[in-house]
Each structure stands twice: as C-alpha cells, then as structure tokens.
Amino acid sequence: MNSFYAEGGHQMVIEHTTAPANSATISAAISDDFWPEGNPPFSSHQDKHIVSSRFYEGAIPDFAEAALERLYANIYCTLTRIGIYEPLDGVHTFAAADEHDIVLLILFRIDRDTVRILNQQVALSEGDLACFAANVFSRYPAARRIEGYALDTQVAASGFAFPIQVRPQLEENVVDLPPSADAYMRQLGKSTRELMRRSMRKCAAQFPSCRFEVLSTHQITPRHVRELVRLTDQRMDARSAERYVVNADIDRMARLARSHGYLGLMLIEETIVAASLCFKVGARHFLYLVGHDPRFDAFRPGRQVTLHVIFHAITLGGRELWMMGGHHDWKSHFLARRKTLSSVTIYRSRAAALACWRPLLRNAARSRLHDLKLLMEEVQARGGAGGRLLGHSLAALRHARKRLRRLRLRLAGEAGKPCFRRDGGDTDA
C-alpha cells in the first residue's frame, strides 16, 4: 500500500507545498500560472518527488503541448494529433511538477461516472497511475472508474492502491536504432542483408532512373498523401484485403505530416512506385503507412523504401522506430521487437467495480481471449500433430474470412459504398 493511503482505503490528502526558495529558477521551466495561490491539495507519488499538482478544468494550459512531447515523445500523445482527430472542447488537464519541471501531465475527459485518459501509447508507471487516480477520486466524488487505452505500463494488481484491471490492447513492433546506417546493416541477419542488397542491385540494373527521396514536413502536400493511399489501395486490392484508409483520413494524415512528418519516396522515371509516411517526436520515429505498386513486387519496393526511411531516421538522431502492429514476420527482419500496450481500468473501490459490472466482465473476457491466443501460438510453435491440426484449422478460418472479405468488397463496389477501414491501422510492405 502506498504511503498516501490510510487504513481502510481512505485517502490521506497532503496540503499543497509552497514553492521552494529557488522558485525564480523553477519559473524558467514551469509556466508562472502553475503556481497561483489556491492550488488544490494533492497526493504524493511513490517514485517522483512532486511538490505541486494542479487540475485545469475544461482547459489545456499553454505549456501542455511542449510538455507532452518532452515527457512522452509519442505521435499519438501530441496535442496536434489529438486535436486533429477529436475536438479539444471539454478536455481537462492534470499536471504535476517537482522542483524543476513538469513530471506528469495527463489529458482526460469526464463521461458521467468515467474518467477517460487521452494520453495513448505512452509510458505511465504504476506510480503515475496511482498518483493520478488518487487525485482524480479525491477531486471528483462521482467518478467510479478511470480508463486508459493502450498504455506502456506494468502494474502489479495485487499491490495497487485501487482495484485495477490491466489487459493487453495493442501490439507494436519497435526497432532500437544504432548510431549509424552501417551499424544497422551489420545488425541485420545475413539473409535479410543479402536480400535487400540483391533487390536494390536488380532494381537499379533494370531501372537506372530509380532513386529515393525524403520530403520534409513543409514539402509534403495532400497530393503526396493521396498518392501513398492509392498505392496501399492497389496493394490491398491485389490481395483482396480491406483497405487501410478512408478518404476522411487523408486530410488528417496530411495535416499531421505538415507538423511532425516526413515522407520517403521511391521513384522510377519520376513516378512514385513506393512511399512511406513517418512521424517524428523527439528521438522517436513512427512508421505510419507503407505502400507500393504491386507491379514491382519482384523488386520488393516496400522493403526498400522502409530501409531508406530507417536510414533517414538514424541520420536525424533517432533512437527508436515504431512500425505499428501486425506483420511481425517481415518487421522482425528489420530487427523489430514486439511491445504489448495495455488498457487499464481503475475503480474507486470494490463496490464501484461491482457497480460497473459490464466493463468489469468485458475486460475479464478479453483478457481470457488474449491468453487463449497466446496458448494457440505456443501449441503451433511446438509442432507435432496437435500443432499441425491447429495450424490447418486456423488456415481454414483465415481462408473463409478472406472469401467473406472478397464478397464484402464486391458488394460494396456494386453498391457504390466507400471503402472499408481496418481498425487500428497497420503497415504493410
């Protein structure tokens, strides 16, 4: 049990600590409006030395944009990206600071009895979540639960201060980038390295005009994004698969690219045959979408443009490249490791958890399904008769899904409906 909880689960609220003697130095890092008199009381943090915390009701302070990028370095937790995909009206902010700077900043909405964290795909420690929960439940008596989506967190439920459910939500493929492109190539497997070199030599021999180019933020236009989406559509159509992007997302991606993006292009006779849209926040890069013309499959243009944007990320000082989920087989060839992001539900009390029985049961069921999926993968990996039978059964199910998908696409085309959108997004080379 954390030190800021008394017996019986009641919160022991610590009064706001006054700014330390060197507050003039602190003000250079923390906005002046963080220190007004009347700051609400706050609960302590088991890891961070927090001296002040504050809620901004229905508002996002001016320092939030820079603080989010510095603290979390994730495109999905930038103010630009959040504002593109949803209105910022009614968003509340919780900020906590130590003697020098903001150390915890969480944006959230209140939906009746539920507090929904807007920070996504970011690292929030057990202490961060406990501190936020203690402050929220003290501030908002009507709140029964807090929900966080796709967080990089490890929480021991048995020792957490509140009843909590943690379930796997999203899978990411993350590449740790070395200091140089040569070092990266040396780390690749021998077969991957030779395959890429052979593909590039073969392509250059047949198409002497082949070249690569990277467009920076101010050079990217909606036309470039539409061309990338067209390439991904061609690739998906060739595989009878659902398309990644609907038209409404093209403008959103273009706007985000104009603030945080760069676009890798592979051109033959000045025609784009492969493209990759990436975003950058700090030293972390995000491979968002890859597309190529299926007529050039023999030259692996998707893999080639991916390799060149990795080189570009290394040149910019990147330390990590996130490649989104799925397709781990080919992404692992680029040294991607799997990272699981979890959704978290924190309840005020056991009574509140029982009152929220629907999400309680839903979360438990999804956790069991994830465990079953891992067990099936383990059985397949072992081989043997059982693994082969399971593999054949899953292949039959995938084939049935593919046939159903083709039927849906055919019916959608006949009815003149817009394309489908794959939940969660993905990349495919």
For residue 239, report the phi and psi dihedrals to the nearest 5 degrees.
Answer: -100, 5
Q: Render pLDDT for 172-188 as a digit per residue (tens, 0 to 9).
A: 999 999 999 999 999 99
For 30-34, 312-316, 380-384, 395-399, which range has the lowest pLDDT when averaged over its residues? 30-34
The per-residue pLDDT for 405 is: 63
Query: What are the CA-CA distances from residue 219 to residues 161, 296, 427 (Å)?
Result: 49, 26, 22
The SS3 assignment for 416 reads coil
Q: Render pLDDT for 110-161 as a digit per residue (tens, 0 to 9).
A: 999 999 999 999 999 999 999 999 999 999 999 999 999 999 999 988 889 9
Tokens representing 124 are 């929030």
Extended beta strands in 72-206, E state: 92-97, 102-111, 114-117, 145-151, 164-176
- The DSSP code for 33 is G
In the predicted model, what is the mean pLDDT of residues 401-415? Answer: 61
For 4-8, 198-202, 275-279, 368-372, which range has the lowest pLDDT when averaged over its residues? 4-8
The rounded distance, in Å, linking the Cα atoms of 128 and 366 is 25
The rounded distance, in Å, linking the Cα atoms of 308 and 280 is 15
Q: In what order do the strands lie in the sheet with 164-176?
A: 52-56, 92-97, 102-111, 114-117, 145-151, 337-347, 164-176, 320-322, 284-292, 271-281, 261-268, 211-215
**May I ask the CATH class of domain 178-318?**
alpha beta
Query: What are the CA-CA distances from residue 298 to residues 96, 128, 194, 230, 400 (Å)?
Result: 54, 49, 15, 19, 28
Query: Which positions ≥6 away from 217 have C-beta within 8 Å?
Result: 257, 258, 259, 260, 261, 262
The rounded distance, in Å, linking the Cα atoms of 157 and 385 is 38
Is domain 7-167+342-373 annotated with CATH 3.30.70?
no
Q: Render pLDDT for 324-352 as a digit per residue (tens, 0 to 9).
A: 988 888 999 999 999 999 999 999 988 87
The rounded distance, in Å, linking the Cα atoms of 75 and 248 is 19
**Cα torsion for 259, 260, 266, 270, to the nearest 10°?**
10
Tokens representing 275 are 């493209």
> Which residue ranges does the chain devote to CATH 3.40.630.30?
178-318
Tell me what the pLDDT averaged over the chain comes to. 82
Residue percentage of the chain with pLDDT more than 90:
60
- One-character DSSP codes across 283-307: TEEEEEEEEE-GGGGGG-HHHHHHH
The kind and range of the H/E element at 272 are: strand 271-281
Q: Render pLDDT for 2-56 as a digit per residue (tens, 0 to 9).
A: 332 233 333 323 233 333 333 333 334 566 555 443 344 566 777 788 888 999 9
Instruction: Say how many Å lie between the first and final Cα of the chain, rounded.
Output: 48
